[in-house]
Structure 1
Amino acid sequence: MLRSLSIKNFALIEQLQVSFDAGLITITGETGAGKSLLLGALGLLLGKRADLSSIKDSTAKCVIEGGFDIKQYELHSLFEEYELDYDDHTIIRREILPSGKSRAFINDTPVTLQSLNALGVQLIDIHSQHQTLQVTTNDYQFEVLDALSEVDRELTSYQRGLILLKQKQKEVNLLINNQEEYTKEFEYNSFLLKELEEGKLKVGELKELEEQYETLINIEEIRERLSESLSLLSKEEAGISDQLNIVKTNMAKIAPYSGVLDNLSERIQSVYIELEDVNNSLYDELDGLEADPELLEQVSQRLQMIHNLQSKHGVTTIDELIEIRDQLQIKVAKTASLTDDIETIQKEISTIKKQLDQVALKIHNKRRKALPKLVSELENILKALGMSNATFKTSLGLQDSYLSNGKEVLEFLFSANKGGAFGELRKVASGGELSRIMIGVKAILSRYTQLPTIIFDEIDTGVSGEIAHKMADLMKVMSKNLQVFSITHLPQIAANGQSQYKVFKEDIDNVTITQLKLLTEKERIREIAEMIGGKNVSDSALTHAKSLLYPG
């Protein structure tokens, strides 16, 4: 509920501060007096983009501030979402600086226009005649129907399920796309993997195989040179071992004579022992050497297989081949498991759809039950507003598609005349008819849900006489449940307000400014009389004005 409004340095408004009560508030004034400026200021307050031309004095900033009672709107979650301090009495402020920059604040916290707009739509609903096209949209028609259907709990459940369904469908589509891509490579990867697995590769194996191959292919030369070396070492009397043994014996006999000789003797002894060990190793190596053409062939084939794999995969080590094998195992296994993963998610999707279908059916049944009530109430209101032949033809059918608000198609057709063809509202209803339909819809909604403050901007254009009285009565009934502003030229509506404000222009120091004032009882009678008969107020106009203000 809008409790206060302060406007400074905006268009023709120099300084304006006003408070509002609950109920029906009417705003009157001559054409061009500045009623649209109030709406413009409120638009800025609720998040519309600022324009430097809005500033009256280009050297000072423009400030618009509104105070709202929001306790009844249950907006705690919205404040949490935008990280704002909640207060039952919330202050919104918008500033336009001379530089053209704009700033916005909610309870003194700087906010973006997105945050401001998100809160603004929850606080004030502005309706002018051209904005009544909203009632022609299918989404809005569902919104109205759902208010009567009381499907909030089911809709919340359905929409949560729909989010989950879309997530799962996205997952399965991604897996299917991956499967198509992997399947193209699956056979080739499987072939490569089989080759590598059959190779039974081992770390460090290549070096061992190459040494074994070199030994086997050069075995005759190795035997020949080992034999010659053994002969030189162990030939009796002339062999290196016998000669070194003589040296060792001689050195042992003279070792006691000096430390140097003793050291040399020990070194000769070590060399002799090492030589004997080498000699034995040469015997062992020669004894173990045997030509093995079959083994040579096996080693050669093994080496060739490894070299072929290295060449195919563009690597130089067995370690790299093993890494490629492990990667291929993952790819092949992943491709094989994708089918199972896809089937699992598809089963989950099927379960979610069944649950959604059940909830959608509950929503449908509640809507179907409420639809005749909506049509009946709306037609009765329109009859009271002078549209005695206005009728609606509606249908509500289930379909297969999962929409954001259920699985239904709502057809909402209208005819203003007896025997007239039914058609979509936007095609067959005139501007005046749409205005009355919108007021009727809002009147119905106000009984079933907590609406924000509503501002009707000359939505009563083209209405007069008894219909104006009925429209005024309707607005007054609505105002029992919410704050209603009506910017009007109709005395019947103006008189029905719990309070009435007048917008007017006045010249101060050769400067024209727009003012807004709360009318006293006498001022109200005068204003309504002028609305009835013009500036030259007659006694009959005054009497008529009083009768409108104080009927019966």
Structure 2
Amino acid sequence: MITSLSIKNYALIEKLTIDFSKGFSIITGETGAGKSIILGALGLVLGKRADLAALKNKEEKCIIEAHFEISKYNLIPFFESNDLDYESETIIRREILPSGKSRAFINDSPVNLQELQDLSLHLIDIHSQQQTQELSDEMVQFQIIDAIANNKELIFKYQEVLKSYKSDKSKLNSLLKRQSESIKEQEYNTFLLEELLAAQLKSGEQETLEADFEKLNNVESIKEALDKSLAIANEDQIGVLYNLKETKTALQKIASFSTEYQVLLERITSVAIEFDDITNELNRASDKLVNDPEQLDAIGQKLQVIYNLQKKHQVSSVDELLAVQNQLDTSLLAIGNLKDEIEKITNLIQESELQLDILATGIHSNREQAIPVLSHKLIVILETLGMPNVRFKMDLTTTTTYFQNGKDELQFLFSANKGTDFGLLKKVASGGEMSRIMLAVKAILAQYSKLPTLIFDEIDTGVSGEIAIRMGEIMKEMSAEMQIFAITHLPQIAAKGNAHFKVFKSTIGEDTQSELKLLSAEERVVEIAQMLSGTVVSDSALNHAKALLN
């Protein structure tokens, strides 16, 4: 429960510190006095987004700090999972700097807004008139039924499986899209791959083929050059070989006279040996050279295939064509792997659907048992709130759709009077009826939830007199188990509180401030009398106020 609230430099509040007690607390004040400011400040502590415009003095920071007694609410796991220091008296502080930057702290540890919002779900429920209208929302109706059905754990497990199911469905759709695109390309890629495979390409063969083609294409010129070279080498008396031998013989005669001549002899001998080898190579080359038009044509065709493939695939070498071939092969293989992957993820989806169906059946069964309990409890409470003929009809239908909280659809039907047909709550319930129904719902939920604090913000819209008295009594009964606050304009409800706070404005010079004050017993009588009769308090109003308080 909240034990104190401190506000500094927020809206019309310069500085305010107020302590709260357990039980039923009332907050009253004239319209515009600042009740919404108090709730706004509390909202910031609970994780709502900050607005620089909320600073009273734009040059100073705003600080809002709330103390909560949480020892009875099993929140240690939350603090451990968020790596926060646990204190039985937990302090939440929110700061808004003049720069517009906002900071939040839990027990002096900095936290983000999401962590603050997550903790606030375990601390306070602020019920406003807007939330009364939310009662007609199907998700809110399910939350009420599920609280009574004790479906929290089942729905948590269901949502975990649903998360995996949706993720797998998304993956499957992506894979099917890829498969569809791949199938369109598969035929063409298969043709390209078969074309490359038919070419029987080998690394480095293009250079060899081009050299062979040049040789065969110029066989006559090559033959002529080789034969001429051999003739020059072997010509009697004037040929190169003959002259080298003659030179060698001449040098042999003088080699013994000087080392210089000996070196020259060795060199000419080496040249003669080398040239003799060259001549033999020329002979072999000439002998091998054959004019083969068929071989020339075959090589030319193979080269043309290679050139065409290079042009088609926009590459310049056989090695690059082989890389394209491998890529196509891998791509076609991947289509087969894609099929296996689709089959695997389809099986996972089917398993998830089976789990979801089992969990959804359990959720549905619990809801069916909870609906008559909820309907009976609502009728009992609402009969005391001036709705003796109220009836509820909650039609639960199982669908094939996996919703976030199961597979059910719900029609929350309502009839306030005898002889009238059932209608959708949002269409047939008046504002006053909605306020009473919401109070009844909150009173019932209080029996099932462990929430420490509940704040009713003008839930008494559209009611008065005896109904207001009974609404106050219900809130009073609820306060035996939890801390209840009621912001109200009705004296009948205000009189039921254990403590009574008044919000009012005061003017100091040119400055207007909102303040919150705990009323004494005497001040409380006057406040309720003013709520009954207005600013001028009559004796009858005072007596009426005392009677209400007693």
TM-score, structure 2 normalization: 0.90
Matched residue SS, 1:136: coil
Q: Distance in 1 between the 2:51 and 2:410 partners?
A: 40
Cross-structure match for 2:259 = 259
Cross-structure match for 1:331 = 331
Cross-structure match for 1:430 = 430
What do the CA deviations read for 1:411-463 (whole angstroms, capped 9, x no partner)? Answer: 10111111112222111111111111111111111111223522112212343
Contact 2:94 2:104 (C-alpha < 8 Å) held by counterparts: yes
Cross-structure match for 1:91 = 91
Cross-structure match for 1:384 = 384
Cross-structure match for 1:105 = 104
Cross-structure match for 1:315 = 315
Q: Distance in 2 between the 1:121 and 1:448 partners?
A: 15
Matched residue SS, 2:323: helix
Contact 1:435 1:460 (C-alpha < 8 Å) held by counterparts: yes
Q: Deviation of residue 92 (structure 1)?
A: 3.0
Q: Deviation of residue 303 (structure 1)?
A: 1.7
Q: How does 1:89-238 map to 2 (within 5 A)?
A: 89-97=89-97, 101-107=100-106, 108-109=108-109, 116-238=116-238
Matched residue SS, 2:388: coil
The one-letter code matched in structure 2 to 1:369 is Q
Q: Distance in 2 between the 1:113 and 1:358 partners?
A: 36
The one-letter code matched in structure 1 to 2:63 is V
Q: Distance in 2 between the 1:354 and 1:479 partners?
A: 44
Q: Deviation of residue 274 (structure 1)?
A: 0.6
Cross-structure match for 1:538 = 539
Contact 1:445 1:451 (C-alpha < 8 Å) held by counterparts: no
Q: Deviation of residue 104 (structure 1)?
A: 3.0
Moved more, 106-115 or 236-245: 106-115
Q: Distance in 1 between the 2:429 and 2:21 partners?
A: 35
Q: What is the percentage of aligned positions where both structures have the same residue? A: 49
Cross-structure match for 1:351 = 351
Cross-structure match for 2:493 = 493
Cross-structure match for 1:65 = 65
What do the CA deviations read for 1:72-118 (whole angstroms, capped 9, x no partner)? Answer: 5556676678776554433333444556x252322345555555445
Cross-structure match for 1:287 = 287
Contact 1:488 1:494 (C-alpha < 8 Å) held by counterparts: yes
The one-letter code matched in structure 1 to 2:390 is A
The answer to whether structure 1 residue 248 and structure 2 residue 248 are counterparts is yes
Q: Distance in 2 between the 1:59 and 1:286 partners?
A: 104
Q: Distance in 2 between the 1:466 and 1:326 partners?
A: 87
The one-letter code matched in structure 1 to 2:8 is K
Q: Distance in 1 between the 2:296 and 2:512 partners?
A: 112
Cross-structure match for 1:35 = 35
Structure 1, unaligned stretches of length 5 or more?
none
Computed over aligned residues only, the root mean square deviation of the Cα atoms, in angstroms, reads 2.8
Q: Deviation of residue 479 (structure 1)?
A: 2.0
What do the CA deviations read for 1:6-33 (whole angstroms, capped 9, x no partner)? Answer: 1223344332111112222112344554
When residues 291 and 509 of structure 1 are mapped into structure 2, their CA distance, relative to the original with a 3 A threshold, is closer
Moved more, 86-95 or 476-485: 86-95
Q: How does 1:474-493 map to 2 (within 5 A)?
A: 474-493=474-493
Matched residue SS, 1:386: coil
The one-letter code matched in structure 2 to 1:106 is F
Q: Distance in 2 between the 1:348 and 1:55 partners?
A: 54
Cross-structure match for 1:445 = 445
Q: Deviation of residue 241 (structure 1)?
A: 1.5
What do the CA deviations read for 1:17-70 (whole angstroms, capped 9, x no partner)? Answer: 111122221123445543333223323433445555544445544432222234
Cross-structure match for 2:16 = 16
Cross-structure match for 1:457 = 457
When residues 271 and 52 of structure 1 are mapped into structure 2, their CA distance, relative to the original with a 3 A threshold, is closer
Contact 2:50 2:102 (C-alpha < 8 Å) held by counterparts: no
Contact 1:500 1:524 (C-alpha < 8 Å) held by counterparts: yes
Q: Distance in 1 between the 2:210 and 2:11 partners?
A: 94
Q: How many residues align?
A: 548
Q: Deviation of residue 547 (structure 1)?
A: 5.5
Moved more, 357-366 or 533-542: 533-542
Moved more, 322-331 or 120-129: 120-129
Contact 2:34 2:503 (C-alpha < 8 Å) held by counterparts: yes
Structure 2, unaligned stretches of length 5 or more?
none
Cross-structure match for 1:364 = 364
Q: Distance in 2 between the 1:127 and 1:244 partners?
A: 120
What do the CA deviations read for 1:495-529 (whole angstroms, capped 9, x no partner)? Answer: 33232223334455675543322233444455445
Contact 2:413 2:425 (C-alpha < 8 Å) held by counterparts: yes
Q: Distance in 2 between the 1:516 and 1:284 partners?
A: 118
Q: Distance in 1 between the 2:173 and 2:232 partners?
A: 80
What do the CA deviations read for 1:328-359 (whole angstroms, capped 9, x no partner)? Answer: 11222223443333233223222221221111
When residues 302 and 11 of structure 1 are mapped into structure 2, their CA distance, relative to the original with a 3 A threshold, is closer
The answer to whether structure 1 residue 305 and structure 2 residue 298 are counterparts is no
When residues 391 and 193 of structure 1 are mapped into structure 2, their CA distance, relative to the original with a 3 A threshold, is same
Cross-structure match for 1:407 = 407
When residues 511 and 296 of structure 1 are mapped into structure 2, their CA distance, relative to the original with a 3 A threshold, is closer
Q: Distance in 1 between the 2:385 and 2:517 partners?
A: 30
Contact 2:133 2:434 (C-alpha < 8 Å) held by counterparts: yes
When residues 201 and 74 of structure 1 are mapped into structure 2, their CA distance, relative to the original with a 3 A threshold, is farther
When residues 316 and 515 of structure 1 are mapped into structure 2, their CA distance, relative to the original with a 3 A threshold, is closer
